[in-house]
Amino acid sequence: MKSADSTASFTRRTIVEWLIFAPIIVILTAYAASFSGLGRPDQALYDHSIARLHRTPSPEIVIVAIDDASIQALGRWPWRRALHASLLTHICATPDMQPRALGLALILSEPDERYPHDDVALANAMRRCPHVVLPATIESIGSNRAEVRRPLSIFAARHGHINLEIDSDGIARSVFLVEGDRRNPLDHFAVEMVADDPRFPSALPNVRRQRARPASAMFGPNWTRDKWMYIPFVGPPGSFETVSYVDVLRGSVPESMFAGKYVLIGATATGLNDSFPTAVSGSGQGMSGVEIIATVMQSLMDGSEIAPLSRQWSMLLSVVAVLVTLGAVLLLPPRWALLATGVILVSVLLLCLVLLDRAHVWFAPMAALIGIALVYPIWSWRRQEAALRYLADEFSRLDQEPVLFHEAISTHRMSDTLDQRVMDMHRVTSRVRNLRQFLADGIDSVPDATVVCNLGGRVTLANRQAVALIGHLDVPGVGRDGLEDGGAALRDIVAELFPDSDAGQRYVEQLIAGETAPLSERSVDGIELTDRSGRAMLMRGGPLRTSMGTTAGYIVIWVDINSIRQAERKREEMMRFLSHDIRSPQASILALLELQKDRNTAVSENELAQRVSNYARRTLGLADEFIQLAKAESSVIRQEPLDLVEIVMDASDEMWVLANAHGVTLLTDLQVSEASVVGDRSLLVRAVINLTGNAIKFSPAKGTVTLRLRAEDHVYVIEVIDQGRGISPEDQLRLFQPFQRIQVPGQVQPEGIGLGLVFVRTVVQRHNGDVGVHSAHGAGATFFIRLPAQLTEMAA
């Protein structure tokens, strides 16, 4: 459950960090967006965008330019006002050809003291022109004080301010359409020019610039600035229709040029300091003030004035874009989150351009763009930190788990970096691969047919025994690529293997339904089935659990218990054999005693005693063989240092009397002076005695039996060599099997039940040795026992 807790903790920590990070970035973005622009970045983007907009200059606006040619022809600036009067008289000479409005963008707030009559002449000329507009200037007269200098009252004309909003980078991009003393503010010059035009908007843009220097800070608390708008420039300087001042005076320009149009008269000459850098000005080139006025006029006539997006909408759009980005980085994989971030950035830029071109609204996107751009790297950093911390915790827990294999761990530990985590991951994946191979080899080495199934009951892994058993079905073996949805279904395998598979099918249903406990939690059980070849098979199964306790699949084992059933049958045969052989002498004794009651059948007392004694000894011999074998199979072997030389000599001494009784010569051949082993003395002596006794019994009279002890490659070999008739190869195969007695032609069947050699084999194997025989028919036999020298571990 630790892994589940760790994963849940990682998920909770991710959500908590996102809930902390998201409000912070949203608040910062909203705060930045509240300024309606972040200075130079937004300004540069606006300049680039406005320069790409294609607008046609209005043919209704004509500029009479006081250009360099006019300065050269008429002399140095300033000119006499009588010259301006002549210009106006020429323009407005014919009533039917008069302009709709005439704007004289010249400062006329002071009387001409040298030529006072020029003011009168200019005023009279203005009266002959309809809708004349003059500029009013705003001048600072002290700290936080300003004064509006209006045109002379003699000039019966409208007037408006000609101030521009110069941004921090020195570029004119916008204008306040209303500015001045709060009690009597001035409209802009362009507003006064088009005030009587029916296309003039009923309401000016109602926007206050947020980052502009407050008017009270510049000109006092009674100063106001309002109706802020961006200037939608129609093109570079010289875009509007322009005629030279001197050409109009000379009559080179027809009166029809000005009929029904808006005529602006202003300076464009280089040395008159009436030009301003704009978003569409070339490098080092400014746009004259009169052209800027013409641009503002056109925007007011055709409704293309650019209003800055309100602070509320700017904040909302920026926050929404950042929230979408936050959702993307939380829910999408890193690669797709990065792609989504790029798409959102491009979308915000496109939205900015569409609003500017179609809705004539400027959305300063830099706050949103910066917020969006910050989300991915910051969140990736936090996710990486969380991932590194999670991996470090998991690696630490993994290191506390038992290790099946030795791992070479570097003593040089780098800092807690991604590189270190990569090295740890390499170490863990190597461990997983090793563990997988270990498990695969382990399953493959299981002697019983074993399969692993998924939750759907389909085989995903099978060892070699299972593949050999059910290989004709689609089963992925160890080392083979697993099938996408698993191999054969377990139900199909059971139906294929066992003709009567109803019990097996019910067992499979219980297994998949979770009604069986893991194999490690219960004793050996299962169901016994018989396959199509008649073999007895034990089918066992159980669920495989994950570290969190959930079921991951199932393991099923088919154990071939045919040999066990055969052993049980042999055990039954043994019991019947023992009961017959042990009962037979006793029954003979009883029969003999019964015959003794009748004088006609009675035997002498000596003969009776002899017969009873023989039957009793036979019974004791049979019981002794059985008890000795049981002891050899089940008793705890004493581990004590022994000398095989003494074992051989003890066996020789004990069998000397039997050899003499059979007329057999017993020899010992000790080729080593000492043969140290560890084991049970009595069992080893009994094993050598059994072999020697058999050799004596099967040796002819005057024959020789030799007990030999020799050394051979870290083992000691005891050989018992006789000169009997030998043992055929067929008989050698069953020599060490229980209840097998060899009948030698021409010899009396020896006593016993065929357990003597089984006893020898059991004792030797429990001493980690081996026993065998070399013989050919008619050439005697050599039985041998091999025991490891200085044996330190006994079989349990």
Residue 423 has pLDDT above 80, yes or no: no
* Domain ranges (residues) in the chain: 2-48+312-394, 446-559, 565-616, 637-788
pLDDT bracket for residue 372 (50, 70, 90): very high
Does a cis peptide bond (omega within 30 degrees of 0) precede residue 78? yes
- The encoded tokens of residue 38 equal 């972040």
DSSP string across 657-721: HHHHHTT-EEEEEE--S--EEEE-HHHHHHHHHHHHHHHHHHSPTT-EEEEEEEEETTEEEEEEE
Closest by CA to 452, choosing from 519, 355, 354, 387, is 519
Please report, to the nearest 10 degrees, the dihedral formed by the alpha carbons of residues 615, 619, 620, 624 taken in order: 150
Residue 740 has pLDDT above 70, yes or no: no
CATH architecture of 446-559: 2-Layer Sandwich (3.30)
Least confident of 263-267, 286-290, 441-445, 763-767: 441-445
How large is the greatest C-alpha to C-alpha distance in the chain, in angstroms?
A: 193
pLDDT tens digits, one per residue of 577-629:
566 566 667 777 777 777 777 777 777 778 777 777 776 776 776 666 666 66
pLDDT tens digits, one per residue of 522-557:
555 788 888 888 888 888 888 888 777 788 888 888
Q: How many CB atoms lie within 10 A of CB 396?
A: 10
Predicted local confidence at residue 340, as pLDDT:
94
Beta partners for 470? none
Residue 279 has pLDDT above 60, yes or no: yes
Predicted local confidence at residue 758, as pLDDT:
78
Q: What does the alpha-carbon distance between residue 542 and residue 529 come to, in Å, rounded to a whole number? A: 17
The secondary structure of residue 404, as a DSSP letter, is S
The sign of the dihedral angle between the CA atoms of 596, 597, 601, 606 is: positive
Residue written as token pair 């007392």: 605
Mean pLDDT highest for which of 107-111, 165-169, 343-347, 567-571? 343-347
Please report, to the nearest 10 degrees, the dihedral formed by the alpha carbons of residues 454, 458, 461, 467 taken in order: 160
Beta partners for 112? none
pLDDT bracket for residue 793 (50, 70, 90): very low
The secondary structure of residue 332, as a DSSP letter, is S
Q: What is the 3-state secondary structure (H, E, C) of 570-626?
A: HHHHHHHHHHHHHHHHHHHHHHHHHHHCCCCCCCCHHHHHHHHHHHHHHHHHHHHHH
Please report, to the nearest 10 degrees, the dihedral formed by the alpha carbons of residues 474, 480, 486, 489 taken in order: 40
Beta partners for 266? 65
- The encoded tokens of residue 156 equal 């019966």
Does 782 or 406 have the greater pLDDT score? 782
> Average per-residue pLDDT in the chain?
81
Predicted local confidence at residue 210, as pLDDT:
46
Over range 42-61, report the average pLDDT.
86
Query: pTM (2 decimals)?
Result: 0.58
DSSP string across 247-303: HHHTT-S-GGGTTTSEEEEEE--GGG--EE-BTTPPTT--EEHHHHHHHHHHHHHHT
Which CATH code fits 637-788? Answer: 3.30.565.10
Q: What does the alpha-carbon distance between residue 544 and residue 453 come to, in Å, rounded to a whole number? A: 9
The rounded percent of the chain whose pLDDT value lies above 70 is: 81
The sign of the dihedral angle between the CA atoms of 179, 182, 186, 191 is: positive
Q: Kind of pairing, strands 172-181 and 158-161? A: unpaired
Summary count for the chain: helices (H), strands (E):
22, 27
The secondary structure of residue 151, as a DSSP letter, is P
Residue 308 has pLDDT above 80, yes or no: yes
Predicted local confidence at residue 794, as pLDDT:
38
Helix/strand/coil for 105: coil
C-alpha to C-alpha distances, 286 to 22, 44, 70, 432, 740, nearest whole angstrom:
45, 17, 19, 72, 124
Contact 725, 698 (CB under 8 A): yes
Over range 759-768, report the average pLDDT.
84
Residue written as token pair 């030389």: 645
- SS3 percent helix, strand, coil of the chain, rounded to 5, is 45, 20, 35
Residue 262 has pLDDT above 90, yes or no: yes
Does 222 or 150 have the greater pLDDT score? 150
Q: What does the alpha-carbon distance between residue 281 and residue 3 come to, in Å, rounded to a whole number? A: 66
Q: What does the alpha-carbon distance between residue 269 and residue 252 come to, in Å, rounded to a whole number? A: 20
Who's near 141: CB < 8 A, 6+ residues apart?
A: 147
Mean pLDDT highest for which of 48-62, 337-351, 512-526? 337-351
Beta partners for 178? 187, 226
Residue 216 has pLDDT above 60, yes or no: no
pLDDT bracket for residue 346 (50, 70, 90): very high
The secondary structure of residue 106, as a DSSP letter, is S
> Can you say how many angstroms the Cα of residue 438 is from the centroid of all Cα atoms in its chain?
25
Q: What does the alpha-carbon distance between residue 302 and residue 426 come to, in Å, rounded to a whole number? A: 69
Beta partners for 554? 453, 543
Please, what's the b/e burial string for 26-64 (b: 16 or more CB within 10 A of its CB; e: otherwise)? beebbebbebbbbeeebbebbbebbeebebebbebbbbb
C-alpha to C-alpha distances, 390 to 256, 401, 610, nearest whole angstrom:
83, 17, 90
Over range 232-239, report the average pLDDT.
88
Contact 749, 740 (CB under 8 A): no
Q: What does the alpha-carbon distance between residue 488 and residue 486 come to, in Å, rounded to a whole number? A: 7
**Residue 400 carries which side chain, given as an amino acid letter?**
Q
